[in-house]
Amino acid sequence: MFSIKDHKTRPLFDPWQHLGARRRQLLDQSWAGLFKLHILPELPVSEIARQFHAHMGRPSKELGTVLGTLLLQQYHDLTDEETVEQLAFNIQWHYALDIPEESDRLKYVCPKTLWTMRQRMIESNLDQQSLDKIVIKLAGLFDVDTRFQRIDSVHVQSNMRRLGRVTIFSQTIHKFLVNLCRQQRDLLQAVSAPIRKRYLKKAALGCFAQVKPSQTAKTLERVAGDLLNLVEQFKGHETVCAMHSYKLMQRVLNEQCQLDDDGAKISVKSPKQIPSGSLQNPSDPDATYSGHKGQGYQVQLMETYLPCDDAQQKSQSLNLITDVQVQKACQSDTQALIPAIEAAERKDLAPKRVVADALYGSDDNYRQAKAHGVKLIAPVLGSERAKNLGLSDFVFANSGKTLSCPAGCAPQLTKRKKTRWMAGFNLDTCRQCPLAPNCPGQSGKAYRYLRYEEKAARIARRRRKEQSVNFIEQYRWRAGIEGSISQYDRRTGVKHLRYRGYARVRFAAVLKAAGINILRATAVLMARRAVKGSANADPIALLSRLWSVKEQFTAHFNAACRILRLRLAIADGYDQTAASMAA
């Protein structure tokens, strides 16, 4: 049975009256006030409530409180135990989650409940729904201009140790034998005693950490042979083949080893032959390898920006993270641009211009982004040879037709066949041209020919535009996302996560990005309040306020004087009456 509190309807009487005016003001101006008013009502409580029965079972913790706690946990980068303490004693958390009452039922949650609810959110993809709702809410609340956006990636590491090849083999075998002992103990006796002695006990694995570098190749062949023996021994047993640890052994065997035609002799592949998506650690099978950044995952981040150098105007505009995608480390950044644009379109936050580095600037991305109505500002990957002339030195039409050569001469002949173009230049003119030795054209019987693909012409036009002042002015705003990635890591610790597995890494990365949006929105609110306060401090406004205060003081002073004179007159009258009676 679920428990839900309506956070959208405001109470008739303020339950936070027990706080002083100063403390209440601090809470309202902090992230807690923004969270309470605008974020808490947007959490996907109704979606997770479907996993509970409406009437049967023990009542759950208030679902809004639990979902908000999980979001704040990632925002502040806390462990489960630290999260329990913050929920129990931190008044900012109480105010943000709208819990004015004092009771264990409302302000205490055990770590097991956090683990269970986190798993439910992961399985239901509610982390992404939470981010989408928060982004849409903040975009409308702060009137965010989504026309200009930029994208980049950051490498993150899950909670796993970096292993060498020998350790990968031995840990995979150990994992299988432990699971076999738990699930099929009778089959464990069929494994040879030397293999059980070497791999079953955790303490026995320490011998592989003491292998000398000169003995690494021989040790690797031995553990590879043990792995092959176990795979072959149980390949006909359906129950064992369905075990996750057995499938890991098969994966390691296919990725790291090579069998002869008979399948009897095994050899270990060289490091260059191993794919980047190979198993890096049996404890995190989803983690892959990037030759540039190492083991782990990568997070694609797209955010809005304001192309303006006015510091005050930028401080009052919200740079909103509109989309977060978690990928494997072996995936290229090229594959992330179009999904990010489509995700922004689904939230009605579609950009008109996206700035990115060269890895996103492939020709396919450029054309697909244009089909979505998005102008991609990204340099072309690679460069042409500096000594020779390239296609970018020629002038092409949008269709790909050659208009002129680097010397300014127009072709006398142009032909197109499917996606290939050919331009023919005057042979005599080209012979006398001083640029001829470095020209990519080739002399023929009648013309000097330039042959190229239509795609090459498009790339050449883009290279030519990269030298323009307009491109440089637009592309310089890409550097700002490096600061956003730095803030993303410093405030939330996203580069070193406490979780393993793709789903849990995605959960943490997405909610941490939502926390950054809340942090930025709070800063914008404070900047706008400061500007509003300085406007109230305008000299003319201050003079008018002082004049009104002076008028009020004069009126009160005159009234007090009249009352005093009246009292003196009354007292004087009393004195005269008493004197006459005495006489």
- Bridge-based pairing of strands 420-426 and 447-453 is antiparallel
What 3-state class would DSSP assign to 484?
A: helix
Write the pLDDT tens digit of every residue in 226-271.
999 999 999 889 999 999 999 999 999 999 998 877 766 888 888 8
Spatial distance between the Cα atoms of 318 and 77, rounded to a whole number of angstroms: 23
pLDDT score of 248: 94
Residues belonging to the chain: 583
Question: What's the alpha-carbon Rg for the chain, to the nearest Å?
Answer: 36
Q: Where are the domains of the chain?
A: 1-124, 128-160+302-378+467-536, 165-273, 391-465, 538-583
306 is written with which tokens? 């304001």
* pLDDT over threshold 60, residue 540: no
Q: Which residues contact 446 (CB under 8 A, 6 or more apart)?
A: 424, 427
What 3-state class would DSSP assign to 102?
A: coil
Spatial distance between the Cα atoms of 238 and 245, rounded to a whole number of angstroms: 14
pLDDT score of 241: 93
What 3-state class would DSSP assign to 226?
A: helix
Write the pLDDT tens digit of every residue in 439-485.
888 888 889 999 999 888 889 889 888 989 999 999 999 999 999 99
What average pLDDT does the segment 93-103 reach? 91
Can you say whether the dihedral through the CA atoms of 190, 192, 197, 201 is positive or negative? negative
pLDDT score of 131: 95
What average pLDDT does the segment 329-354 reach? 94
pLDDT above 70: percentage of residues in the chain: 92
pLDDT score of 276: 87
pLDDT score of 529: 87
Write the pLDDT tens digit of every residue in 155-200.
999 999 888 888 899 999 999 999 999 998 889 888 999 898 888 8
pLDDT score of 76: 95
pLDDT above 90: percentage of residues in the chain: 53
Question: Which stretch of DSSP H or E encloses residue 322?
Answer: strand 321-328
What average pLDDT does the segment 15-43 reach? 90
pLDDT score of 390: 85
Q: Which amino acid appears at position 145 of this protein?
A: D
Spatial distance between the Cα atoms of 529 and 499, rounded to a whole number of angstroms: 39
pLDDT score of 549: 64
Topology annotation, domain 128-160+302-378+467-536: Nucleotidyltransferase; domain 5 (3.30.420)
552 pLDDT tier (thresholds 50, 70, 90): low
Angle at 208 between CA 206 and CA 212, to 5 degrees: 125
578 pLDDT tier (thresholds 50, 70, 90): low
* pLDDT over threshold 80, residue 210: no
